Structure 1
């Protein structure tokens, strides 16, 4: 075996379309080694059954601070996505008490209102960048209002957020992480002085059974996770979903003819080209065997959600976009204890956004004069920076 099975550094074709690479890897086995900008050698799981099992395997840790030589990190890393039990359990319970199904469902009329307001501005123009005009401001407005920061400088936050989840390089990522931590720390101090009826105020006030509250670093980490995960995934759910529909006119026509297909269409968008390409970093707590490959203690592991959801052993003809497909069990929101807590909100926003866009924009089409897609770098978030459309 070569040192790594695939070197992703500078491989722009992979960023634009990773699926043929996943297909070739899967044909040779469900687990491979790759080289990325962050790792000289990391295990990548591309098979569905192996990926689903790995996502729920407690032998694969998330808290990288437990590794030898690690001394901590920036406060934004003190979030439940990067923690293991029992810390993860404690944090998730505290958040779940504030991030309730009732609170999410109560947002439905407001999500519709924001959607209509954005389209009122966009549609008279005849053409737009759908990301900038619609897919970004909708979830960003929703999550800011939910958390209680409606006056957030969204253009500045978007730049910081992209620098963390889709950085051009390590220097940009490090600077964005430091700036994000400082930004959120000040935000929490302001909210602590002037609490309101919002999610961030509820988290600041939250206590568990032992009367323990979130620490200052945990509050920063939680604000980071809610704000970034609360909009980045939905931005790309909407834009990737619309891009898939425009690229498959027969499916777009079927959805227009039968709006009852909408819920299934959104699930197929998530499976076919979801917003999170690869789950965040894990490491082996002990020697683990996955798909006949032996992963040594301390080795880094990535699970390709995109690769797993195109596994033909799970989904026949996986490269075919079919809004009538049975997508049950897809991994777009993860699996196990780290399953995305915001999945109901993302689904609601995606369904409202796409239904309303198609209803109000019957001539929606890709802009033929647009430049080639500018893909988000890295293997975490899957999407494009711009999606020029016209109607």
Structure 2
């Protein structure tokens, strides 16, 4: 019998990855229940996740095929709701912008942003590192990417503060305020472009001479926020917990950060990845996979946290080890929708781990590990807070 899993229930548990890894060994494909009771076929095994994420029979274009599960009411305005030639055309343009001089220059500033945030914490004390460091770091980077004027940044941060709230009314109000601000920002960039990613996209044109619409540009801003902010913040904080509770791993990182910081980031992404599951896809035809038949029009999701604990990705997946070669994990997805911002996200996580581990000789949880709380979500995996005691 194929089980039906409530993603909300499992995401708030302290050992979700371990439970999902065990489940994946028994059931490569299961049913999961999402917000509002919607159910979807959900793929857990790493080989099948790789196979189907690259399979054109599973589509992100929900509006024409499964409108009840579409993310945006305005149609396919963002990358994760497009497929085929339309998606390839849009992705090529956005990919070029991510490789622009403006973004490459920003990569060199990530260290400065991280050090400024740590300077603010001082030499010793107790603080919530999620609130004081892991959240602000990627948000500062997003401000730079979008070219948010310095004078607007306090307002910008205030508007996005509750975008991941568990309360739907609060979340919607925050999202509306954020999108309204992004609309005004797009208008400003059209009038006076600056050296940033958003200006690159505002001025870029497709091969036929057309450009992205305001709706598409605002949609891109929302994707950047969701894909680049809380996911990175959660990855930083979750990996810090593992380093602190695996003292030998933290000691190894301190001894050779140049060699091991990037490896620690990769292992953290595999071991406690912040993207629990992908957004919904839809089957364009009947598909036989993993011993089940997914019928045309049914929803499909991919449980990346389970796939990353599949022995096909890494031997002894329940062992956290930063000093061992890690085959490519699935934290950033796979196939045509592989995360475009993964290089910058990897750098932010790497810099964060290196700077924290080497700056503080004392670094420990300020509460017992069992008192840490995980957010309830059907797509994300992250802590609600990370109280740490630190000293130099």
Structures share fold, TM-score greater than 0.5: yes
User: Partner residue of 1:228?
Assistant: 226
Q: Render the CA deviation track for 1:319-338: whole Å, top value 9, x for unaligned.
A: 11011232222001111111
Q: Cα–Cα, structure 1 residues 302 and 211, in superposed 2: closer, same or farther, change >3 Å?
A: same
1:285, distance to aligned residue in structure 2 (A):
1.0
Where 2:380 maps in the other structure, the secondary structure is coil
- 1:201 is aligned to 199
Partner of 1:208: helix, strand, or coil? coil
8 Å CA contact 1:76–1:181 kept in 2: the answer is no
Partner of 2:30: 32
Q: Determine the structure 2 residue equivalent to 1:214.
A: 212
1:310 aligns with 309
Inter-CA distance 294–25: structure 2 relative to 1 (3 Å threshold): same
Aligned equivalents of 1:75 and 1:68: distance in 2? 14
- Shift of the alpha carbon at 1:381? 1.7
Give the match for residue 352 of structure 1. 351
Instruction: Give the match for residue 186 of structure 1.
Output: 184
In 2, Cα distance between equivalents of 1:13 and 1:231 = 19
C-alpha distance in 1, partners of 2:236/2:338?
20
Deviations 1:327-361 (A, max 9, x none): 22200111111111111101111111111111111
Distance in 2 separating the partners of 1:104 and 1:186: 22
Q: Distance in 2 between matches of 1:13 and 1:349?
A: 24
CA distance in 1, matches of 2:43, 2:66: 24
- Tell me the equivalent position of 2:297: 298
Structure 2 CA distance for partners of 1:265 and 1:101, relative to 1, 3 Å: farther
Residue of structure 2 in register with 1:329 after alignment: 328
Count the aligned residue pairs: 385
Residue 19 of structure 2 is aligned to residue 21 of structure 1: yes
Q: CA deviation at 1:210?
A: 0.1
Distance 1:344 1:127 in 2: 31
Structure 1: gaps (5+ residues): none
Higher mean Cα deviation, 67-76 or 113-122? 67-76
Aligned-partner Cα distance in 2 for 1:147–1:194: 13
Cα distance, 1:8 vs structure 2? 4.1
- SS for the counterpart of 1:365 is strand
Report the 3-state secondary structure (helix = DSSP H, G, I; strand = E; otherwise coil) of the residue aligned with 1:43. Answer: strand
1:141 and 2:143 are equivalent in the alignment? no
| Alpha-carbon separation, structure 2, partners of 1:358 and 1:334 | 28
TM-score by length of 1: 0.91
Alpha-carbon separation, structure 2, partners of 1:183 and 1:63: 27
Q: List per-residue Cα deviations over 1:296-334 (Å, max 9, x = no partner).
A: 111111101110000123322111101123222200111
Structure-2 change in CA distance of 1:182 and 1:245 (3 Å): same
- Superposed, 1:241-260 pairs within 5 Å as 241-259=239-257, 260=259
Per-residue deviation, 1:365: 1.0
35-44 vs 135-144, greater mean Cα deviation: 35-44
2: CA distance, partners of 1:369 / 1:138: 25
Deviations 1:95-125 (A, max 9, x none): 1222116443322331111111111111235
Contact 1:77 1:221 in 2 (8 A): no
| Contact kept? 1:305, 1:331, Cα under 8 Å | yes
State the distance in 2 between where 1:215 and 1:111 align: 30
**1:52 corresponding residue in structure 2:** 50
Residue matched to 1:158: 160
Alignment TM-score, normalising by the size of structure 2: 0.90
Secondary structure, in 3 states, of the residue corresponding to 1:162? coil
User: Helix, strand or coil: the match of 1:78?
Assistant: coil
With over 3 angstroms needed to count, the CA separation of the structure-2 counterparts of 1:57 and 1:265, relative to structure 1, is same
Query: Using a 3 Å threshold, how does the CA distance of structure 1 residues 301 and 173 change in structure 2: closer, same or farther?
Result: farther
**C-alpha deviation, 1:368, in angstroms:** 3.0
SS of the residue 2:187 aligns to: helix
Whether contact under 8 Å (2:29, 2:292) holds in the other structure is yes
Is 1:126 the counterpart of 2:125? The answer is: yes
Cα separation, 2, equivalents of 1:286 and 1:329 = 29
Q: CA deviation at 1:223?
A: 1.5
Does structure 1 conserve the Cα–Cα contact (< 8 Å) formed by 2:21 and 2:306?
A: yes
Match of 2:266 in 1: 267
Report the Cα distance in structure 2 between the residues aligned to 1:237 and 1:131, rounded to whole angstroms: 10
CA distance in 2, matches of 1:199, 1:331: 26
